[in-house]
């Protein structure tokens, strides 16, 4: 387990697998194998002690031919250029799986936000926007929250952007506070989408969700809402972890209590009545549903061999290595791939952007109903693709997604029609 594998190379491999499985051309791979635009910036920040520290930030726009780039910004000490590139590539396939008019984008700043005061965090968020503002915009590239960023940070970023451009522009960023044009339901959306796909997967496999045991690796926004909403449907959370360690509670936890414990102490560790474990212990816990909701490269071949869950729902981006994938596929574990499982967040970001552009706001029921519709439809399409081609679910999700992207590239004249279509046209 660990971050040894380069996510950019993994993303390229996944694209290649799908292009080959679809019988598409090398040209398509060439068009998708790297981001269209990538910027690195240095962000000077005045620290509370009066000194200045310079942080490195990135923004990657993978594809801009299907609409503006779209994707979050993460604040993490392990952020790298290749990681941000890979994450932007995964966003392209994610937005296409759920049929959104976007390409993929992603940003990151190399920082441990836990070591910053609120004031320093705000100045960093604003500083990042001062460096990247010429590259973003509601019709160009629309950032959002990701690991260690939240609505408040989006609020500061929007405020800085609007001050620079001198006009109201809520559609430039999503996942904002409601008071600044955020969407109802956006905060819960990633978890809600994960849970919809788990519910569909359990039904598809003929398994009961009620009473099913769940392990959640990573207890941030996505992990917490996934736990809460699964509990509402009768499942029981028996294991959880965060960056400080993991816990096992075979009898089940009340998710609200675990969230309160994490808010009070900074971690799930030490939750009353639990047994301490590590990340491996949570990933291989005795359960029916495993939700990796942390970072990349957590499920390698060794972890995959130890997983006891029947369903793995990837709330995180890129949690499984190619070797891990191989083992999961061989073992017949049902994987709901990240680009499908966690697409609820960007889907409601899209709804937020639509509301901003129209200046007309929806009820939470309306947001959730539309999210439900999109997630269920996409889940069914991916499963149908897997069945039709006898493909592993991850490859099927890429195949379904890439088909739509290829169509967009073709009608723009960037990609030739496939040989069989040329033949049909010639015979007419
Ligand atoms: N960061 C989230 C993701 O990885 C959400 C992106 C967005 O809402 O644009 O999907």
User: Does residue 137 sit in the same domain as residue 216?
Assistant: no
User: Does residue 151 sit in the same domain as residue 209?
Assistant: no
Q: At 425, is the pLDDT very low, low, confident or very high (cuts 50, 70, 90)?
A: very low
- Ligand 1 centroid to residue 153 C-alpha, Å: 14
- Ligand 1 centroid to residue 88 C-alpha, Å: 10
Q: Whose CA is nearest to atom 9 of ligand 1?
A: 71
The number of the ligand 1 atom at minimal distance from the alpha carbon of 342 is 10
Q: Whose CA is nearest to atom 10 of ligand 1?
A: 346
User: Does residue 77 sit in the same domain as residue 213?
Assistant: no
Contact between 228 and 191 (Cβ < 8 Å) = yes
The number of the ligand 1 atom at minimal distance from the alpha carbon of 72 is 1
Question: Could you read off the pLDDT of 207-266 as tens digits, one per residue?
Answer: 999 999 999 999 999 999 999 999 999 999 999 999 999 999 999 999 999 999 999 999
Count of CB atoms within 10 A of residue 243's CB? 15
User: Does residue 125 sit in the same domain as residue 249?
Assistant: no
Number of H helices, E strands in the chain: 16, 12
Q: Which residue, among 129, 130, 104, has the nearest Cα to 402 in the 3D structure?
A: 104
Element (H, E) at 95: helix 81-97
User: Does residue 221 sit in the same domain as residue 329?
Assistant: yes
CATH number at residue 265: 3.40.50.720
**Ligand 1, residues 143, 345, 348: which to mutate, most atoms within 8 A of Cβ?**
345
Ligand 1 lining (C-beta closer than 6 Å)? 70-72, 94, 144, 146, 174-175, 317, 342, 345-346, 349
- Ligand 1 centroid to residue 374 C-alpha, Å: 16
Asked which of 105, 136, 170 is the last residue of a domain, the reply is 170
Inside any domain, residue 321: yes
Question: Could you read off the pLDDT of 12-30 as tens digits, one per residue?
Answer: 999 998 899 889 999 999 9
User: Does residue 326 sit in the same domain as residue 265?
Assistant: yes
User: Does residue 206 sit in the same domain as residue 312?
Assistant: yes
Helix, strand, coil content of the chain in percent (nearest 5): 50, 15, 35
> Number of folded domains in the chain?
2
Q: Tokens representing 126?
A: 């604003």
The number of the ligand 1 atom at minimal distance from the alpha carbon of 346 is 8
284/235 Cα distance (integer angstroms): 18
Whether the pLDDT of residue 424 is over 60: the answer is no
**Ligand 1, residues 109, 145, 176, 292: which to mutate, most atoms within 8 A of Cβ?**
145
Domain that holds residue 41: 34-170
User: Does residue 195 sit in the same domain as residue 336?
Assistant: yes
Q: Angle, to 10 degrees, between the axis of helix 255-265 and the axis of helix 221-232?
A: 160
Looking up tokens 């149908």 gives 384
User: Does residue 288 sit in the same domain as residue 239?
Assistant: yes
Asked which of 170, 198, 228 is the last residue of a domain, the reply is 170
CATH number at residue 99: 3.40.50.10860
Asked which of 341, 374, 400 is the last residue of a domain, the reply is 341
Inside any domain, residue 350: no
Catalytic (active-site) positions: 106
User: Does residue 196 sit in the same domain as residue 166?
Assistant: no
- Ligand 1 centroid to residue 148 C-alpha, Å: 12
Inside any domain, residue 379: no
Q: Which residue, among 336, 281, 333, 284, has the nearest Cα to 310 in the 3D structure?
A: 333
Question: Could you read off the pLDDT of 48-102 as tens digits, one per residue?
Answer: 999 999 999 999 999 999 999 999 999 999 999 999 999 999 999 999 999 999 9
Q: Angle, to 10 degrees, between the axis of helix 151-165 and the axis of helix 118-132?
A: 50
User: Does residue 217 sit in the same domain as residue 329?
Assistant: yes
Count of CB atoms within 10 A of residue 140's CB? 16
317/312 Cα distance (integer angstroms): 13
User: Does residue 209 sit in the same domain as residue 305?
Assistant: yes
The number of the ligand 1 atom at minimal distance from the alpha carbon of 174 is 8
- Ligand 1 centroid to residue 330 C-alpha, Å: 30
Q: Angle, to 10 degrees, between the axis of helix 7-22 and the axis of helix 393-411?
A: 80
């Amino acid at each position: 387990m660990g971050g040894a594998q380069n996510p950019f190379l993994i993303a390229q491999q996944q694209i290649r697998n799908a292009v080959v499985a679809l019988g598409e051309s090398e040209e398509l791979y060439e068009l998708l194998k790297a981001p269209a635009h990538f910027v690195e910036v240095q962000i000077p920040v005045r620290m509370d002690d009066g000194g200045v520290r310079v942080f490195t930030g990135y923004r990657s726009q993978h594809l801009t031919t299907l609409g503006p780039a779209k994707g979050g910004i993460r604040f993490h000490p392990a952020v790298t250029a290749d990681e941000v590139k890979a994450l932007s590539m995964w966003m392209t396939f994610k937005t296409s799986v759920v049929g959104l008019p976007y390409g993929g984008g992603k940003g990151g700043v190399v920082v441990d936000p836990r070591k910053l005061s609120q004031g320093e965090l705000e100045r960093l968020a604003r500083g990042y926007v001062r460096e990247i503002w010429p590259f973003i915009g509601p019709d160009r590239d629309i950032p959002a929250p990701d690991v260690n960023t939240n609505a408040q940070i989006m609020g500061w970023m929007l405020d800085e952007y609007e001050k620079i451009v001198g006009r109201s522009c809520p559609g430039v960023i999503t996942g904002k506070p409601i008071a600044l044009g955020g969407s109802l339901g956006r905060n819960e959306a990633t978890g809600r989408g994960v849970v919809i796909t788990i519910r569909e997967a359990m039904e598809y496999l003929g398994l009961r969700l009620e009473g099913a045991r769940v392990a959640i690796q990573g207890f941030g926004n996505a992990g917490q809402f996934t736990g809460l909403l699964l509990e509402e449907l009768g499942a029981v959370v028996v294991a959880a972890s965060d960056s400080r360690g993991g816990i096992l509670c075979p009898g089940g936890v009340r998710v609200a209590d675990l969230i309160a414990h994490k808010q009070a102490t900074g971690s799930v560790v030490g939750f009353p009545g639990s047994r301490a474990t590590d990340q491996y212990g949570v990933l291989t816990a005795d359960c029916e549903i495993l939700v990796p909701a942390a970072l990349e490269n957590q499920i390698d071949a060794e972890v995959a061999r130890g997983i006891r869950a029947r369903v793995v729902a990837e709330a995180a981006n890129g949690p499984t290595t190619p070797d891990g994938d191989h083992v999961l596929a061989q073992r017949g574990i049902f994987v709901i791939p990240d680009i499908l499982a966690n697409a609820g967040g960007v889907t409601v970001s899209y709804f937020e952007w639509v509301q901003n552009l129209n200046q007309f706001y929806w009820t939470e029921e309306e947001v959730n109903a539309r999210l439900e519709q999109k997630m269920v439809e996409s889940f069914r399409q991916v499963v149908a693709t897997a069945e039709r081609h006898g493909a592993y679910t991850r490859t099927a999700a890429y195949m379904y997604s890439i088909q739509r992207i290829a169509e967009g590239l073709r009608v723009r004249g960037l990609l030739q029609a496939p040989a069989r279509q040329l033949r049909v046209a010639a015979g007419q």
